[in-house]
Every structure is written in structure tokens, then in C-alpha cells.
Structure 1
Amino acid sequence: MHGEYKVAGGKLVVVDLDVVENRLANISLSGDFFLEPDEALGHMSQALEQLPADAPISEYEHAVERAAGDAVMVGFDARAVVLAVLRALGRSTSWSDHDFQLVDSGGQHPPMQMALDEVIARQVGDGRRPPTLRVWEWASNAVIIGSFQSVANEVDLEAAARHDTTVVRRISGGGAMFVEPGNSITYSLYVPATLVEGMSFVDSYEFLDRWVIQAFRDLGVEASYEPINDLVSPGGKIGGAAQKRLANGTVLHHVTMSYDMDAAKMLDILRIGREKLSDKGHISAAKRVDPIRSQTGLSRDEVVNSMLDSFESRYGLDRVQLDETTRAEAEQLAASKFEDPAWLHRVP
């Protein structure tokens, strides 16, 4: 069995091994990393010998760390070795192990957007659909609050009504977002949990958005990731990510970015407190955000197409239209859950 893991900004770790009676055997570690002293490589390989093939990740990591001791590891670490082992065992996958689908769901109103996210995520986890990318097209204004936020604390409902803005609650955590058709770029990735197996939640955010960071850099935007979940540039925040892990083994990862922004309208609707702003080093919520339009000079469609071209060049994309079965499932869920005031106000 053969597994490889490339450390972000670091080196490649390669593992070759056998499994004999559910035990790791004949382990060989290699890669383009740097390690001193040399014999530490053999010690790490030996430490993994005879461990169960289904052992917890922590058991592998502790074994490698103990074997490495005071060795100097440059460009990799014990976690990188473990991830390569998991890929060799098939417990972890890489982008290239999957065939990705791009679903064109057309313009949708806020409750339907929320429902499509949940339905497509379930389909991927149930094996009814391959790993999928979806770019949202908004049919109307929306405020989307996080799963654990209070509507009363986050949104001025009178202002939302005045601006013809629908308030909905999504299934992932994180903060509130204000979006208008044409002014936002939102996308969702629906992937198997094996793609981020062995990573911390924080690391998985950066890992799943690494492609879009590079896509923006290709457009001349000095984009980077700021933990826990922000996409930023020197001018400010570009967007924010959120995740939901489903019980059927799917990771739903979605991002909303500001292409353009009506700051006055956003601040009229959202209750953005000084406590939230204080740890960002800003006194104004509007100054926190740096719209993509101002940085690229490109139309929204040009930016989206460039993003999709970048993803396709790396991982491939099979482009499909939203099928009627999925549409019907989402319509039913939108009506029964995401339009239900009980769901919207589940946090007092």
C-alpha cells in the first residue's frame, strides 16, 4: 500500500507498507523533507510496525513522536507521517482520489439555498452523488445567521423587512452574513470526511479553501487565510467560511465572499457589536471588508469563471444541472424546516 501527503508550504511525505492480519508491516518512510539525525527515519518506521491498521490516529502520532525524540524535522512533522499512513490504508483520501461534480442550481431564494446545502450534503454522504462544488446564485436579498446565533442579537428584523431581506438560519456555525444578488460570491463544497481525515477543524478550513486562495492570487489579489475561518487580503476581509460535519460522513464547507457591498444597508440590518470588532483591530465593520470588485476590476461572472477554471485545472469538474429529484427534496425541506419560524428562532 502506498500513501503520500504534501505538507502545506512544506515537503512531501511518502509511506509504503503492508497489512498483515490487520497489523502494519514492512513500513518504509521517504520524501523530500530534511531530517537530522538520519537514523530517526528508521526509528519512526519501526515505531509503526505491528500497530493495528484500524488504530486511532492519536496512537500512530504518539508512536512517531516518541520515536523521533529530539530529531530535527524540517518541512514535515509527525502528523504528516500519520496522514501519509492513513492514505496508504485508504482511511484518508486526497483531491486526486475523487471525481468532482459542479452542480448548476440556478437562482434560488434563501430558504431553498439552505435546503439545497443540506440535501446535496446528504446525497454525497449516502453515495448518491460524487463530491460536489456548487456556486450559489441569489434570487433575493438575504441575511444568513449561524446555527448557534440568536436572531434578536444579530438582526434588526424591522430593518431587514424595510430592505426586503429574508432572514434564514443555516446548519453550520459561524457568524451572520448579508448578501444581495450580484454583490456576493458564495460556494459550497460537499466532500467525504476522508478528505480531511486526521486534520484538526482549523487545518481543514485552510485545506479546503487552498484552491480558492490560489485562484485569487492568479487574479493578482494577495489573498491568504486567517484562522479560524477568514479569507483576507492586505486591504481587509474578503470572506468567511463555515463547516458542518454530517453523521453520514460528509463535510459541508461553504464560503461567502463580498464581491461588492452596500455597507450602509448591511450596517442597518446587522447588529455588529463593538466586542466583535475589538479583536479585529477595527472600529468600523465596513472597514473590515475589502470587496473583490475593488481589488480585481473584473465582473462577478469573470471572477466566478476564473475560480471554476482554477478548480477544474487542479481537480477536474463534471458540470451538471440540478436534477428534479434533488430539487423536489430541497423544496420539501425548505418548506418544512428553513421557512419554519421555530427553526429560525431556535436560539432565543
Structure 2
Amino acid sequence: MHGEFKVPGGKLVVVDLSVTGGRLTDVRVSGDFFLEPDEALAAIDAALTGLPVESDAKTIAAAVTAALPEGATMFGFSAEAVATTVRRALQRATSWSDYEWQIVQPGPLDPLMHLALDQVLAEEVGDGRRTPMLRFWEWASPAVIIGSFQSVQNEVDPVNAEKYGFPVARRISGGGAMFIEPANAVTYSIYAPADLVQGMSFADSYAFFDEFAVQALRDLGIEASYVPLNDIASPQGKIGGAAQKRLGNGGVLHHVTMAYDIDGDRMAEVLRIGREKLSDKGTKSAAKRVDPLRSQTGLSRAEIIDKMIDTFRGLHGLTESTLTDFELSRAQELVETKFGTDEWLYRVP
């Protein structure tokens, strides 16, 4: 069995192994990482050999750590990365290159239509009717998009939201509220089969999906990094946040909204951002938490999106595609029966 895992911001880890009598055998770890001393690699292989196939990632990582010689140095990978790779080998995970990736850019859409398309396209990929996709959003109007489990009254000031023209909608993924000004938001979705993140923890899969975005931002001169669980940030502040939903049919939705520019004062009026939420962010101001891409690059929003698309294409390949009539009609149906209803919006009042 063969597994691979590219550590976000790090190196490639590869594990080849066999299974005999329910235990790992013939384990060989390799990759383009750095490891000192040399004999530490043999120690890792030996630590993995004989482990039960049902060992979870925590158990595997602990075995690797315990086997390392005193003073050993791992650079570009970790015991946890080895554990993820072992689990991916056992569960026969796929890689980016196993798929023909498509990009769809349907132009400006109503916020509710965007949310419905996220569900539809994730379902289509999960059911195998669509190859995996990347989609960049164009917003037709402002909105506040709250997470699947957030309370409307706790997150949004209804008077100011109505005053400034920010209708509220609920998405199918968890996470926090998105404050959307159409010309100032960069939003994208990735629709993938669950096999691509097989053996990964949720934390690892977030960084895994967004590595291309972090790389693109770094190429633009931003010291971007992924901050667990779901933030893309720079030394100047938070740039954006990710959310994810795994569907029962095997489809995975991963989407991100980043701030190109932002009216921080307006956002603070529309969103109820409490002190408790900011307590672990090292700031007292929500406006100071978000540092727009415009201020760090001097580029237009379109130029930044083009760079991100080019980076994804260079890493994984991309072909142009369009939405089908079925996908559009199914999304419109979901707008009317789900996303546009009070029952869905206020399911957590």
C-alpha cells in the first residue's frame, strides 16, 4: 500500500507498507524532508512495523516520537505528518493528480444562489457526475453569511443590517460569519471527493485545501500562513477564513472568503462581534483583525484572483467548464425550498 501527504508549508512524506495478520509490515518512510541523524529514519520504520492496522493517528504519531533518537531533528515534516501518511496508505487515499480539475466562473450571482450551488456541486462531485472543481464567486449584492450552527440574533444586528442593505443567509458549513461587500471579497469553493482527504484530520485537510492560496499570496509578496483551525493570516492581521462540509455521499465542500478591502467600521456595526470571540486574537477591535489584500499588494481584486487561479492550475491543472442546466435549476429549487426560507435561516434563532 502506498500513501502520500504534502505537509502544508512543508515537505512531501511518502509511506509504502504491507499488511500481514492485521499489522503493518515492510514499512518504508521516504520523502523530500530533512531528518537528523540518518539512523532516525530506520527508527521510524521500525516503530511503525508491527502496529495494528486499526491504530489511530494519535497512536501512530506517539510511536514515531517515542522511537526517535535523543536530539533528533525533523524539518519539513512531523510525527503527525507520518501518521497521516500511514492512514492515507491504509485507506487508499487519492492525490490531486488523480483527477482532472475543472474551474467554473458563472459571473455575479445572488448570495442565496451561491449557497445553493455549493450544495449542488458538492453533491454532484460526491455522486461522481462531476469531476472535482474550483469555483470563484462573484457577488451580485452585499450579504452577511452565517455558519450552519450560528445564532442569527447573536451574530447580526438586524437594525444595522437592514439599514445598510446586508440581508442575512445561512450556509451549510460551520464556522463564523462572512461580511460580504461584493467588490471587496475574494471567495472560492473547492468541490472534491472524500478520498482526497482520506486519513487526514479536519485540521490537516483545511490547510491541505488552501495551500495553493497561501502559495499564491506568498508569490505576491504577502507573508501568508495558515493559522489553525481555519484562518489565512499575515503578520499584519487575518486575511480570511475557511469552512468545510463533508456530505454523506462522499462529496467535500471547502470554501474560503478573504478580504480584498473592507469597511471595518461598517462590519462592526452589522456584526455582533463579542469580546469573548476576540479574546484569543490579541486585539480589541474586529476591524483590526482583518487586513485586506489591497493594502498588502496594491493589486486589483481581479489580478489577485487571476494569480490564485494560475497557481492552482500550475499545481494541479485546470480546464474551463460551465454550469449545466440541471445544476442551475436544482440550485434555484434549493433557494426556494431551503436557503431562502425562514425555517432554514432561523433554525438557530
Residues 8-31 of structure 1 deviation map (CA, whole Å, 9 limit, x = unaligned): 454443333345687654333334
Q: Is contact 1:13-1:33 (8 Å) kept?
A: no
Residues 15-48 of structure 1 deviation map (CA, whole Å, 9 limit, x = unaligned): 333456876543333345325472x544543554
Residues 124-149 of structure 1 deviation map (CA, whole Å, 9 limit, x = unaligned): 11111122111111111111011111
1:151 is matched with which residue? Answer: 152
Q: Please give the secondary structure, in 2, of the residue aligned with 1:209.
A: helix
Q: Please give the secondary structure, in 1, of the residue aligned with 2:169.
A: strand
2:223 equivalent to 1:222: yes
1:26 is matched with which residue? Answer: 26
- Which 10-residue stretch deviates more, 138-147 or 90-99? 90-99
- Identical aligned residues as a percent: 57
- Which 10-residue stretch deviates more, 124-133 or 136-145? 124-133
Q: Is contact 1:110-1:166 (8 Å) kept?
A: no
1:320 is matched with which residue? Answer: 321
State the one-letter code of the partner of 1:204: S
1:211 is matched with which residue? Answer: 212
Residues 261-298 of structure 1 deviation map (CA, whole Å, 9 limit, x = unaligned): 22333223212223323332222222222111122221
2:267 is matched with which residue? Answer: 266
How far off its partner does 1:90 sit? Answer: 5.5
2:348 is matched with which residue? Answer: 347
- Which 10-residue stretch deviates more, 157-166 or 129-138? 157-166
Q: C-alpha distance in 1, partners of 2:337/2:72?
A: 56
Q: Please give the secondary structure, in 1, of the residue aligned with 2:137.
A: strand
Change (3 A) 1:24 1:233: closer
How far off its partner does 1:188 sit? Answer: 0.8
Q: Give the CA RMSD over aligned residues.
A: 2.6
State the one-letter code of the partner of 2:3: G
Residues 38-86 of structure 1 deviation map (CA, whole Å, 9 limit, x = unaligned): 2x54454355456666765556556555655868352344333333334
Q: C-alpha distance in 2, partners of 1:277/1:51?
A: 42
Q: C-alpha distance in 1, partners of 2:224/2:336?
A: 38
Q: C-alpha distance in 2, partners of 1:37/1:214?
A: 30
Q: C-alpha distance in 1, partners of 2:120/2:185?
A: 22
How far off its partner does 1:257 sit? Answer: 1.0
Change (3 A) 1:242 1:55: same
- Which 10-residue stretch deviates more, 215-224 or 77-86? 77-86
Q: C-alpha distance in 1, partners of 2:282/2:60?
A: 40
Change (3 A) 1:234 1:327: same
Q: Please give the secondary structure, in 2, of the residue aligned with 1:195.
A: helix
Q: C-alpha distance in 2, partners of 1:140/1:37?
A: 58
Residues 176-234 of structure 1 deviation map (CA, whole Å, 9 limit, x = unaligned): 12112211111111122233333332232222211111101111122222222221122
State the one-letter code of the partner of 1:271: R
Aligned length: 347
Q: C-alpha distance in 1, partners of 2:288/2:245?
A: 29
In structure 1, stretches of 5+ residues that fail to align are none
State the one-letter code of the partner of 2:318: L
State the one-letter code of the partner of 1:187: Y
1:17 is matched with which residue? Answer: 17
How far off its partner does 1:89 sit? Answer: 4.6
2:127 is matched with which residue? Answer: 126
1:194 is matched with which residue? Answer: 195
Q: Is contact 2:139-2:182 (8 Å) kept?
A: yes
Change (3 A) 1:278 1:30: closer
2:168 equivalent to 1:167: yes
Q: C-alpha distance in 1, partners of 2:179/2:12?
A: 40
Q: C-alpha distance in 2, partners of 1:287/1:23?
A: 52
Q: C-alpha distance in 1, partners of 2:10/2:139?
A: 39
State the one-letter code of the partner of 1:333: L
Q: Is contact 2:37-2:73 (8 Å) kept?
A: yes
1:103 is matched with which residue? Answer: 104
State the one-letter code of the partner of 1:220: G
1:176 is matched with which residue? Answer: 177
Q: Is contact 2:8-2:207 (8 Å) kept?
A: no
Q: Is contact 2:8-2:211 (8 Å) kept?
A: no
Change (3 A) 1:87 1:331: same
- Which 10-residue stretch deviates more, 72-81 or 48-57? 48-57
Query: Where does 1:77-116 land on structure 2 (aligned, <5 Å)?
Result: 77-89=78-90, 91-116=92-117
Change (3 A) 1:82 1:182: same
How far off its partner does 1:171 sit? Answer: 1.1
Q: TM-score, normalised by structure 1?
A: 0.89
2:337 is matched with which residue? Answer: 336
Q: C-alpha distance in 2, partners of 1:338/1:124?
A: 20
Q: Is contact 1:120-1:190 (8 Å) kept?
A: yes
1:306 is matched with which residue? Answer: 307
Q: C-alpha distance in 2, partners of 1:66/1:287?
A: 42
- Which 10-residue stretch deviates more, 49-58 or 180-189? 49-58
Q: C-alpha distance in 2, partners of 1:278/1:86?
A: 36
Q: Please give the secondary structure, in 2, of the residue aligned with 1:102.
A: strand
Q: TM-score, normalised by structure 2?
A: 0.88
Q: C-alpha distance in 1, partners of 2:193/2:272?
A: 35
State the one-letter code of the partner of 1:181: P
